[in-house]
């Protein structure tokens, strides 16, 4: 047992987390059990307050008591890895994506995706993916380019995606013959007759011809990334934090995904229904903004970070069903700093209740 003097901004929750104690309420009970009567407290911790804390085996015994009483606030992944059920990714999702410039709202998009589970085949999970109901500022956009983009999506989708046991997308399949899809795309030129639309349609046709590019394009959409990213393969230690890991996240439209250094933190239980995990990261990409927009620029692990390297960070909160670990919701915020300007994006995806 040790004596600790509370510092400014200290709380029982913070101290309990630092000591890896499963429930902060038991920390107060420990103090009140061992201190003089006049030093007992029943409210919040105060700066400068003397606190008796468990140490060594006392922490183990206290945690054992907490767990036996069913009062632990923390989820501990078995063997350091959370066993997310891949088949339970199925469902209907609502996506909202907002973009800001120095806190001024620039765009506000909303759309839906359906992810239908087809079957398990040789340890590979096959899903059907559909995107639809695209809206801007809460209404259906009627600009020529948005109409063209939606028309192309209607021709191309649904797609089949194949996900392995590690929650990685390994393959993609068209659900209609390639020639038929290309013919339907070509037909769109009768309705969208300008040169730009024709070029856009031709690009779509060339993507369909190259399944590798089609797969990469799908991976580089935020909804697919947040359902199948490296987040799900993080390794956890004996407490709440995962090991540091790296992933490429497609925050910037029409640019290469940005490499981030990331860490997950399992949050204390707020209720018996939801498990929350915070993912936080900062760019570890040595490329500049111009290089990210260049198709020929590839991340080089040996290249040094320079003052021109992209400067950005992001924070996300994942919510899962605590009983079966199925996905419920993600809220994510991305900030990129360019000179004295901050560009921000807010992304939310929520599975609709049945």
d(CA 161, CA 127): 5
Q: Write out pLDDT tens, residues 311-338.
A: 999 999 999 999 999 999 999 999 999 9
- What is the average pLDDT score of the chain? 93
Mean pLDDT of 252-271: 95
Long-range contacts at 121-124 (CB < 8 A, ≥ 24 apart): 123/164, 123/165, 124/162, 124/163, 124/164, 124/170, 124/171
- Residues 303 and 177 grouped into a single domain: yes
The residue-averaged pLDDT of 75-85 equals: 94
Summarised one tens digit per residue, pLDDT across range 83-107 is 999 999 999 999 999 999 998 999 9
Which of 32, 48, 73 lies at the terminal end of a domain, its last residue? 73
Q: Domain ends where: 73, 107, 133? A: 73
Whether residues 61 and 87 share a domain: the answer is no
Based on the domain organization, do 260 and 227 belong to the same domain?
A: yes
Give CA 210 to chain center in angstroms.
28
Residues 173 and 271 in one domain: yes
For residues 36 and 135, state if they share a domain: no
Q: How far apart are CA 129 and CA 118, in angstroms?
A: 10
Check which CATH number belongs to the domain holding 322 and give it.
Answer: 2.30.230
Tell me the pLDDT tens digit for each residue of 133-176.
888 876 655 677 788 888 999 999 999 999 999 999 999 999 99
Choose the final residue of a domain: 73, 106, 123: 73
pLDDT of residue 139: 62
Q: Could you tell me if 65 and 189 lie in one domain? A: no
What are 272-306's pLDDT values in tens digits?
999 999 999 999 999 999 999 997 788 998 888 88
Considering the domain architecture, whether residues 61 and 91 belong to the same structural domain is answered as no
251, 257, 262, 264 alpha-carbon torsion, rounded to 10°: 60
Q: How far apart are alpha carbons 84 and 86 in whole angstroms?
A: 6
Are 176 and 277 in the same domain?
yes
Q: Are residues 218 and 323 in the same domain?
A: yes
Tally of domains within the chain = 2
Instruction: Find the domain containing 110 and state its range.
Output: 80-351
Whether 201 and 335 share a structural domain: yes
Specify the pLDDT at position 147: 87
């Amino acid at each position: 047992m040790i004596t600790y003097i509370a510092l400014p901004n200290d709380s029982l929750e913070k101290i309990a987390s630092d000591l890896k104690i499963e429930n902060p309420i038991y920390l107060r009970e420990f103090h009140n059990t061992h201190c003089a009567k006049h030093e007992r407290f029943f409210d919040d911790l105060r700066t400068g307050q003397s606190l008796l804390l468990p140490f060594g085996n006392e922490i183990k015994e206290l945690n054992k008591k907490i767990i036996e009483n069913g009062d632990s606030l923390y989820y501990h992944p078995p063997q350091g890895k959370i066993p997310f059920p891949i088949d339970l990714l199925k469902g209907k999702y609502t996506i909202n994506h907002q973009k800001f410039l120095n806190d001024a709202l620039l765009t506000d998009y909303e759309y839906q995706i359906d992810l239908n589970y087809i079957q398990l085949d040789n340890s590979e999970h096959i899903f059907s993916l559909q995107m639809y109901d695209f809206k801007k500022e809460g209404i259906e956009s009627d600009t020529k380019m948005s109409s063209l983009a939606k028309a192309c999506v209607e021709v191309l989708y649904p797609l089949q995606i194949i996900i392995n046991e590690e929650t990685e997308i390994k393959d993609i399949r068209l659900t209609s013959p390639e020639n038929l899809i290309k013919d339907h795309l070509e037909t769109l030129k009768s309705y969208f007759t300008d040169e730009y639309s024709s070029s856009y349609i031709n690009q779509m046709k060339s993507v369909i011809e190259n399944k590798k590019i089609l797969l990469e394009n799908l991976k580089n959409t935020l909804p697919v990334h947040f359902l199948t990213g490296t987040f799900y393969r993080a390794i956890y230690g004996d407490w709440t934090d995962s090991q540091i890991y790296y992933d490429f996240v497609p925050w910037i439209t029409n640019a290469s995904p940005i490499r981030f250094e990331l860490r997950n933190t399992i949050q204390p239980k707020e209720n018996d229904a939801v498990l929350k995990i915070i993912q936080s990261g900062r760019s570890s990409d040595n490329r500049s903004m111009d290089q990210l927009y260049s198709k020929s620029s590839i991340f080089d692990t040996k290249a040094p970070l320079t003052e021109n390297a992209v400067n950005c960070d992001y924070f996300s909160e994942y919510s899962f069903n605590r009983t079966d670990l199925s996905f419920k919701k993600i809220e994510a915020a991305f900030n990129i700093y360019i000179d004295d300007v901050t560009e921000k994006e807010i992304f939310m995806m929520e599975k609709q209740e049945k």
